[in-house]
Amino acid sequence: MLRVGFFIGLLAIIGILVSGLVSYRIYEQEGVIDRAALTRQIDAHAGLVQERLSEREVLARVSAGAFQPSTAISSRALQPLRPSIYTFKTNFVVTGWIARLMPSDFPAAEAELKKAGFRNPQIRNFNDKPLDAAAAAKGVDVLMDVEPQDDNTLKLPGRAYDQHPVIGPTLAKASETGEPEASDPVNLSPVGSPLGVVLVVPVMKPETKSPIGFITTSYRLSLMLGNDDLSLFSVALRDPRANGGELVLDNDGEVVTAASRPEENRPEIRKIVFGGRQWALDYYPKTDTMQRALNHALVAGLIGLAVTVVLCSLFGYVSYNNVRLSREIQTRIGFERRLTAVIDELNHRVKNILAVIQSIVTRTLRHGSDIDSARELLIGRIHAMSNVVTLLSDSQWQGVKLKGLFDSRAIPHGDRIALDGPDITVSARAAQSLSLLFFELASHSDEGLSLVGKHPHIVANWTVSGEEPHATFKFHWEEFNTSVATRRPESDFGIVLLDRVAPEALGGTSKRYFTDVSYVYELTAPMATVVDENEMNRTGYISRTT
């Protein structure tokens, strides 16, 4: 009996020790798994929210870049953008065109609003009260067109929003920076009363860099807070207004203001960027992951104390499975991170290319253009984009050689262009802009053949001057045997591309002119934006991890 008791006691001691060790391991492992699952879900939700907001901001930027109203006081200024607004399904509440008007513009603006059939064509304050004469003398920002047009929104045009307590400062900031700006949360009245934000995008005068007006789009804040009921967390938006607190969804799916939670209930925080400002999302776990892990550990310990022999025999198996499970979790986490990075990069590239193609199609097939000429230009421009995407795909988006952009299969008369310059590797973003630029130049270079009787002689050269990090890229294009009389004038798309889009994409400047014997185009840009080593390093990292 003593020996049996000793054996039972020894077995009990072993069972207690093994049970304690197993309980500890389960507690630790369950805690790691639950925290990892929670973190993955939070990161996925924050990434999805950022992607939604980025899509809307990119569309707003593209719309503003392609937006050229015939006159700032037009009450049909949004007409060219209406198909895009609905095609991309941006879940907007109201899109508006706000024009910057001086008092001398008021009669014409009121006539336009009356002609368009808006309810109140009088220029007035945002609250429908008369304008302050002193403030109006300096110019006001007046809503001239809205989409959609219904019983609620037809009342809005004619209102001046520069004195609005929320929208007014946002318009002023967008005017100052020239970039999209998002407002503080505001009730989107009179369209019901959902809480939302207004994205303001300035439409700039190319020659003065001052805005002629603003495209505004309002979105419900539920765009940031939408979430699955079965998720492991609840999400709240940190209220950026002075009163503080948090913004959450109620049971009806509407955004309401809630008081800040106790200090001990600290959330995980993710930062997102929208409209030039940073927003903070607070994520609160719905269950205490550590308490859940502790409960599992206690159950395992009690079972171990009851069946010590079985637990001892299973201990090795459980330990082995714990190690294997831990490795599988780490492997899956690493794979999901790499997959997320690849998907994010692909989404970024596809959205950029689609935005460029949309701009190409819109500009090329504008109203009144010759369909045959437009078709050839459209095919050529898209072919140029296809060629550069092929080159970038071959290099896994780590840049292309500059001379490769002059391939005769991508641009007209490429075999007759005399090239001179170092064969540098340019970034993906720079390659797309330069490819369209070279096609636009080359597509006009043979127009004078029937008049002068011989092909123009084309010379394209570029140099890199200065020392890093202030090196400068200078590109020079010159067509001899051509003149103003023999060379076809640039299209609207070509002018925008040559004078604004390409230089701005590279952070540089350009000029074009005729000499006595030639046509010249020159582009100067910082070498840092042409090469963009940060972009190449990022795509190189993604290529290595996949």
DSSP per residue, 455-514? PPEEEEEEEEES-TTS-EEEEEEEEES--TTTSPPPPHHHHHIIIIIHHHHHT-EEEEEE
The pLDDT of residue 306 is above 90: no
The pLDDT of residue 252 is above 60: yes
Torsion angle (degrees, nearest 10) of CA 333, 337, 343, 344: 140
Q: How many residues would you count in the chain? A: 546
Query: Which residue is listed with tokens 């959609």?
Result: 148
DSSP class of 81: G
In the numeric block, which tokens belong to residue 227?
């979430």
The rounded radius of gyration (Å) of the Cα atoms in the chain is 31
Q: Which residues contact 322 (CB under 8 A, 6 or more apart)?
A: 25, 26, 29
Helix (H) or strand (E) holding 533: helix 533-545
Phi-psi category of residue 122: left, alpha or beta, with phi > 0 → left and psi -120 to 50 → alpha:
beta
The C-alpha atoms of residue 234 and residue 281 are separated, in whole angstroms, by 10
pLDDT at 476: 93
C-alpha distances in Å from residue 195, one per residue of 128, 229, 395: 21, 21, 46
Query: Which residue is listed with tokens 């993906």?
Result: 428
In the numeric block, which tokens belong to residue 13?
């001691």
The pLDDT of residue 286 is above 50: yes
516-529 b/e (C-beta count within 10 Å ≥ 16 → b):
eebbebebbbbbbb
pLDDT at 25: 72
Q: How many C-beta neighbours within 10 Å does residue 373 have?
A: 12
The pLDDT of residue 318 is above 90: no
The pLDDT of residue 363 is above 60: no
pLDDT at 194: 78
Percent of the chain scored above 70 by pLDDT?
71
Tens digits of per-residue pLDDT, 82-123? 777 676 556 778 888 999 888 888 898 899 888 888 888 999
Q: What is the pTM of this model?
A: 0.50
Query: Which residue is listed with tokens 């439409």?
Result: 203
User: In sequence order, which ranges of 67-132 are alpha helices (DSSP H)?
Assistant: 82-87, 106-116
Query: Which residue is listed with tokens 């969804």?
Result: 249
Arithmetic mean of pLDDT, 21-32: 72
Q: Which residues contact 441 (CB under 8 A, 6 or more apart)?
A: 477, 498, 521
pLDDT at 544: 54
Q: What value does the mean pLDDT of the chain take?
A: 77
Q: Regarding predicted confidence, which is higher, 289 or 52?
A: 52
The pLDDT of residue 217 is above 70: yes
